[in-house]
Amino acid sequence: MATASDASLESEPPVTVLHVDDDPQRTKLTATLLEQKMPDATVLSETEPDGGLTRLDAERRIDCVVSDYDMGSVNGLDFLELVREEYPDLPFILFTGKGSEEIASEAISAGVTDYLQKKGGAEQYEVLANRVENVVSQHRAEREAERSRKRMQTVYERVTDAFFALDTDWRFTYVNGKGEQLIQREESELIGNTVWEEFPEAVDSKFEREYRRAMETQEATSFESYFDPLSTLFEVHAYPSEEGLSVYFRDVTDQREVRRELDREKELLEQMLETSPVGILVMDPEGGITRANERAAELLELSGSELTGRRYDSSEFTVTDLDGNQLRDDQKMFARVMDDGEKILGERIGYEPPDGNRKILSVSGAPIYGETEVERVVIAIEDVTDVRERERELERKNDRLEKFASVISHDLRNPLDIAQTRTELARAEHADDEHLREAERALDRMDDLIDDVLALSREGEVVDERTPVQVEHVVTAAASTVDLSDVDLGVEDDLPTITADSERLRTMFENLLSNVGEHAGEGSSVRVGPLTDRDGFYVADDGPGVPEDERGKVFEHGFTTDPDGTGFGLAIVHSIVEAHGWTIEVTHSQSGGARFEIAGVEEV
């Protein structure tokens, strides 16, 4: 026979019972007998319903209410209604001497937990004790289950992934808020229904295969699969148990696109790396080469496997300055980038490959940072051996031109000066001598030729140093030294600012404008403006122009259509253009005159 020592309540806190009956003798007897049958229980007694409500509010630990039915102005069912207003789940047993079926039916309809009719003898208190134990045990179990459910719900709602739970019959038992959003269904629609009924499109899909395999093997599974009805790629992690399946999932549709884009970018960078005409080395923070493209292997004349793993300071790399002096380790590009933490561009070094055929390399380096420190260093290598040779050849050419200019200015100018002086003296004595007049004109022409040859030789030197120059200002300055009294000069406002040698640029415009003054004729006009289809500018006049069959000759030394000209003016223009690395072309203007277009300039 069940007693208060029943094992079902051994681990639970002691039971507190509130007994309400308007008969003080009944309350005393009931308390005594219940405490006998339930040794760990406490029975509190009240003779009025109001007192019972007050005791409920005061104690806040009562597990069960036992109430009589007939208590004067307030009967047991009225008392039940008052209790339910504040304590809707508290067990309530109606223990009454009135046993009509009408009262029993009314009590059950009102929501009483249990109904027990008073009888004679002590055995009825044994039954009452059992009823109290049962309803309290059930109430405590339900309360604990509800607390557990709320705890689990809190956990599931805090999970950043979407989540749903299935029982062993594939019925939904829970769906968190994130899950509702992703599957676009309310939890209330799903609970108690099977996943296959609610989502028939999942049948015979990867979702079904993976879920069933997890349940059969009792092993967790992870997978990705696209669900057409929701147009979503899901990443799924499913964990089986004896109670069912817990499924965590999230939308990775955008992530897949990001991964695809990253893969495309990676492939693009890989292709760029391997097809680059520049050698690329990637080094770790210790200076070990972790990657080398094919061009780097070609330039260093080592295979990719021979390069990978070597350190920048390996004795197998012979690196020198341009004079052939071997560089110390701290002078090498990797060490300097690591020390400074900044990129270094276009430094030239000497490199002696295994075959001993020395090269000149242009080397650049840049750090790749992690969160705070350099994680890698990228080194770019270009072979500039031929460039270096061309530069040396240009230097030698400039030296020869300088020596040539010196010879002309000294060795030819001195005897010419003497001849001009002698002729001038002779003319003073023989003013009408025809031969002396012709000799004087010839000497003057020789003087002009020497000036032009000097200008040609000096202007043809490669331009090493350039500064920003406003073309409009240079044109204005050049025009002030050229006779344009019969020519209308127009200079457009939007001429560019370029990098150039300003003095040589002025000489170029002086010769172009002089050419207009000599060939365009009186009343002509000349305009200087920017090119619209490329970087550069033009000089155009409305004179007779240059015949098409002569346009290829106008820049040759000595070519002229003016009997008094030296034929060096446009040759000097061409030399200045070439010295800057630009291009010049002669064509016709809209008015039919000559148009010179200078392109390839570097605008600021």
pLDDT digits (tens, 9 = 90+) for 177-234: 888 989 999 989 999 999 999 999 999 999 999 999 999 999 999 999 989 998 888 9
How confident is the model at residue 164, as a pLDDT? 92
**Band of the pLDDT at 236, cuts 50, 70, 90?**
very high
**Band of the pLDDT at 453, cuts 50, 70, 90?**
low
Strands (E) in 32-149, as ranges, are 42-46, 64-67, 92-96, 114-117
How confident is the model at residue 7, as a pLDDT? 42
d(Cα 114, Cα 118) in Å, to the nearest integer? 13
DSSP label of 466 = -
Residue 52's CB is within 10 A of a number of other CB atoms, namely: 25
Domains of the chain: 7-149 (3.40.50.2300), 159-255 (3.30.450.20), 278-383 (3.30.450.20), 389-459 (1.10.287), 467-599 (3.30.565.10)
**Band of the pLDDT at 450, cuts 50, 70, 90?**
low
How confident is the model at residue 572, as a pLDDT? 79
How confident is the model at residue 485, as a pLDDT? 79
Q: Over range 513-529, report the average pLDDT.
A: 82
Which distant-in-sequence residues (6+ apart) come within 8 Å of 556 by Cβ?
567, 571
- Tell which wins on pLDDT, 424 or 70: 70
What is the pTM assigned to this prediction? 0.38
Pairing of strands 467-470, 289-292: unpaired
Pairing of strands 467-470, 359-369: unpaired
pLDDT digits (tens, 9 = 90+) for 237-256: 999 999 999 999 988 888 77
519 close to 487: Cβ distance less than 8 angstroms: no
How confident is the model at residue 3, as a pLDDT? 45
